[in-house]
């Protein structure tokens, strides 16, 4: 399938160098500064003779779109990634998180997995087609957006409002999957075909301010502490949605932890917790649990400003993730019930941001081409449909009826823990593998 007259050793070196440089551009959100990343991508593409459009949605917030023209009026594939990355706690990293250092065959830095590496894979696939002088029969679009890590107000959301015609496509390949699990039988790659919805809330607590040397029973910080404890202990009932069922069925026959029949007991709401607890891999336990439940995770707190002052107001923020079929209203009702049951007083719940769950079908030509391309480079590979607990920009496209898949070619549970974590990094081998698979995919699908 691959054109082996391509010098893949040279491509590997080029891709690694580009990712290292890309990581060094500080696009931590907030504040984002994605314009610098967009200009970096434009410089590379224009050197290849590929024209680009850069959209500055707000000062310093950059997005970039380019296309490879074919005969079709609507592009068949949109290759998408986001430029921004999440903040870092630099002191906890073994190597500087914006260094892009290459150490023992791995490229280190924030964004190495989420998701500047995907951007470089897509970029290489795009440029290799151009360098070979190929004119695809079907149009392709390459886009990189801002602000995904903070709700996409200045990225995909903004582009959908101000330049929706530029993002029209039949299919999207984006982040959200590609992670997975290696077993005795196969290398499982999780292809994101669905994602949970988001409901971020702020719970504000009010009480009586005063001098801390005179404690009283109307301290809002105490009420907030009770609420955080209650929310963190809460576990919603298990619900088997169609995406979760496909995911669990796909893993059952490949995993090594227990007989397949026993593993399938996860699909029983009465047995799911007990069976999941038997799995030794902590991150897989977390993934399976999140695929079956609405989750409620305290993340931010803000209280007083002086040790000897009892504040009159404080708040905490909760990251809630919704299964398909759930609504923000149900999430708010659940939170209110949790706090009322705990006896919390003086609180109000405010919604900060929501997005609804979204899903794409599996029986499509692109899904089959992705699977074929992956197996061509790794005969042990198997794609497993996956519902991610985290939100991605794919939701904007699924809302428009556009099919979106998340693939990143990193079949590793360890990598899942490094996304948004410390010491994020990707192997050069997987970066090259992803470039090959995406090149094969777009070449086969668009020609």
220 and 243 housed in the same domain: yes
The residue count for the chain: 447
Give CA–CA dist 168/154, Å, rounded. 18
Domain of 123, CATH number, reads 3.40.630.10
Predicted confidence band of residue 439 (pLDDT cuts 50, 70, 90): very high
Stretch 117-133: mean pLDDT: 93
Mean pLDDT calculated for residue range 222-246: 97
Contact 111, 418 (CB under 8 A): no
**114 and 172 inside one domain:** yes
Q: What pLDDT score does 446 carry? A: 85
4 pLDDT higher than 60: no
The per-residue pLDDT for 416 is 77
DSSP state of 413: H
Range of the domain at 276: 195-355
Q: Which residues contact residue 256 at a Cβ distance below 8 angstroms, ignoring those fewer than 6 apart?
A: 183, 184, 185
Note whether 321 and 393 are same-domain residues: no
pLDDT over threshold 80, residue 430: yes
Supply the DSSP symbol for 410. Answer: B
Place of tokens 């010098």: 7
User: Would you say residue 228 has pLDDT above 60?
Assistant: yes
**What was the pLDDT predicted at 411?**
62
User: Where does a domain end: 336, 355, 374?
Assistant: 355
Portion of the chain with pLDDT greater than 70, in percent: 97
pLDDT at 119: 98
- Confidence label for 181 from pLDDT (cuts 50, 70 and 90): confident
Range with lowest mean pLDDT among 16-25, 87-96, 411-420? 411-420
Q: Report the first-to-last Cα separation within the chain, whole angstroms.
A: 12
Answer yes or no: are the C-beta atoms of 170 and 403 closer than 8 Å: yes
Same domain, 250 and 168: no
pLDDT band at 75 (very low <50, low <70, confident <90, very high): confident
Distances (CA, A) of 108 to 73, 101, 224, 416: 40, 5, 38, 15
Q: Structural domain tally of the chain?
A: 2
Model confidence at 135, pLDDT cuts 50, 70, 90, reads: low
Q: Same domain for 286 and 420? A: no
Domain boundary among 309, 337, 355: 355
**CA pair distance 321, 331, nearest whole angstrom:** 9
Query: What's the pLDDT tens digit per position in 340-397?
Result: 999 999 999 999 999 999 999 999 999 999 999 999 999 999 999 999 998 899 999 9
Residue 125 belongs to what H/E stretch?
helix 116-131
Q: What is the pLDDT, as a whole number, of residue 3?
A: 52
* Pairwise CA distance, residues 147 & 150, whole Å: 5
Residues 255 and 344 reside in one and the same domain: yes
Phi and psi dihedrals of 62, rounded to 5?
Answer: -110, 145
The pLDDT-based confidence of 176 (bands split at 50, 70, 90) is confident
Q: Which CATH number do you get for residue 202?
A: 3.30.70.360
pLDDT at 43 over 70: yes
Lookup: tokens for 365: 């030509």
Residue 214: what pLDDT?
Answer: 97
Calpha distance 176→393 (Å, rounded):
9
Convert the pLDDT of each residue in 311-355 to its tens digit: 999 999 999 999 999 999 999 999 999 999 999 999 999 999 999
pLDDT at 178: 64
The Cα 143–Cα 373 span in angstroms is 22
- To which residue do tokens 């094969």 refer? 440
With respect to residue 319, please indicate whether it lies within any of the assigned structural domains: yes
Query: Phi/psi of residue 103, each to 5°?
Result: -135, 120
């Amino acid at each position: 399938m691959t054109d082996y007259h391509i010098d893949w050793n040279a491509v590997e070196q080029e891709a690694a160098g580009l990712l290292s440089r890309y990581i060094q551009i500080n696009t931590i959100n907030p504040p984002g500064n994605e314009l610098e990343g967009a200009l970096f991508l434009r410089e590379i593409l224009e050197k290849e003779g590929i024209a680009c459009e850069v959209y500055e949605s707000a000062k310093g917030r950059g997005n970039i779109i380019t296309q490879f023209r074919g005969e079709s009026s609507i592009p068949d594939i949109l290759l998408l990634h986001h430029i921004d990355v999440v903040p870092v706690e630099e002191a906890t990293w073994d190597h500087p998180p914006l260094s892009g250092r290459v150490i023992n065959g791995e490229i280190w830095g924030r964004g190495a997995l989420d998701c500047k590496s995907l951007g470089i894979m897509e970029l290489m696939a795009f440029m290799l087609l151009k360098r070979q002088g190929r004119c695809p029969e079907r149009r392709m679009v390459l886009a990189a957006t801002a602000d995904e890590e903070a709700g996409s107000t200045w990225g995909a959301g903004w582009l959908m409002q101000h330049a929706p015609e530029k993002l029209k496509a039949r299919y999207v390949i984006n982040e959200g999957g590609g992670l997975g699990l290696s077993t005795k039988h196969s290398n499982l790659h999780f292809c994101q075909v669905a994602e949970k919805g988001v409901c971020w809330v702020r719970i504000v607590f009010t009480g009586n301010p005063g001098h801390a040397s005179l404690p009283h029973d109307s301290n809002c910080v105490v009420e907030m502490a009770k609420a955080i404890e209650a929310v963190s202990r809460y576990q919603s009932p298990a619900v088997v949605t169609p995406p979760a069922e496909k995911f669990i069925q796909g893993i059952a026959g490949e995993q090594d932890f227990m007989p397949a029949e026993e593993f399938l007991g996860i699909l029983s709401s009465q047995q799911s917790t007990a069976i999941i607890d038997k799995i030794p891999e902590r991150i897989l336990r977390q993934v399976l649990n999140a695929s079956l439940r609405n989750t409620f995770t305290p993340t931010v707190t803000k209280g007083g400003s002086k040790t000897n002052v009892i504040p009159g107001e404080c708040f905490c923020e909760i990251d809630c993730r919704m299964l398909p079929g759930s609504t923000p209203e149900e999430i708010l009702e659940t939170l209110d019930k949790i706090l009322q049951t705990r006896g919390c007083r003086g609180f109000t719940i405010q919604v900060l941001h929501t997005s609804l769950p979204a899903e794409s079908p599996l029986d499509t030509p692109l899904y089959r081409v992705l699977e074929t391309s992956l197996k061509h480079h790794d005969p042990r590979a198997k794609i497993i449909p996956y519902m991610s607990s985290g939100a991605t920009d794919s939701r904007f496209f699924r809302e428009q009826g556009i099919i979106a898949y998340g693939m990143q070619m990193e079949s590793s549970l360890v990598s899942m823990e490094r996304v948004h974590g410390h010491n994020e990094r990707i192997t050069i081998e997987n970066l090259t593998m992803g470039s090959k698979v995406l090149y094969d995919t777009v070449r086969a699908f668009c020609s």
